[in-house]
């Protein structure tokens, strides 16, 4: 998938003096049905996460709290995207290599995924990923 298919998506915001509310509906705000939710938290300063691409799984990343950067790469182009709002997420199609760093203290990264966890869906080796992209 080309890097242009990675998209920042603005989610609805219900502003309220009691606190704001944002929601995400699969196949409406994001173009896939949500089959799994996971989150990264208690990330120590200076730690890197990610370092893989997924063969079929679509994902949507939101900084629920704090901020972090996502570096996306499609085998040709690389882009660094900062996530720092609870109402904005980053859609990542399959076959995008992603790394995450710059986690602020106390940040939480929520990930909505189109598929249940399956290790066979991962490229964790960068060279294997590059080979697959060049052959596609
Ligand atoms: P990993 O993919 O390395 O995390 P990240 O990309 O965020 O750095 O996953 C860490 C471990 O957690 C690895 O052993 C796989 C496991 N895991 C699950 O069991 N289920 C899941 O949904 C996810 C995302 C990971």
Q: Which domains are present in the chain?
A: 3-135 (2.60.120.10)
Instruction: Tell me: pLDDT of 136 over 90.
Output: no
Mean pLDDT of the chain: 97
**Best residue among 49, 115, 118 to mutate for probing ligand 1, ranked by most atoms within 8 Å of CB:** 49
CA distances, 135 to each of 3, 52, 75, 116, 132 (Å): 17, 18, 11, 26, 5
State the pLDDT at residue 130: 97
Q: Which residue has the tokens 């990675």?
A: 6
Average pLDDT over residues 14-27: 98
pLDDT, mean of residues 24-38: 98
pTM for this structure? 0.97
- Say whether pLDDT at 1 is over 90: no
Pocket of ligand 1, beta carbon within 6 A:
36, 38, 40, 49-50, 52, 117
């Amino acid at each position: 998938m080309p890097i242009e298919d990675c998209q920042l998506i603005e989610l609805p915001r219900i502003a309220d003096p009691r606190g704001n509310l944002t929601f995400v509906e699969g196949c409406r705000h994001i173009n896939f049905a949500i089959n799994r939710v996971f989150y990264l938290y208690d990330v120590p300063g200076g730690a890197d996460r990610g370092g893989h691409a997924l063969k079929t799984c679509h994902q949507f990343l939101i900084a629920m709290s704090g901020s972090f950067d996502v570096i996306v790469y499609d085998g040709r182009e690389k882009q660094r995207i900062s996530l720092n709002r609870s109402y904005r997420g980053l859609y990542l199609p399959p076959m995008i290599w992603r790394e995450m760093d710059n986690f602020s203290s106390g940040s939480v990264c929520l990930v909505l995924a189109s598929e249940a966890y399956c290790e066979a869906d991962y490229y964790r080796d960068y060279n294997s990923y590059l080979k697959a992209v060049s052959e596609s």
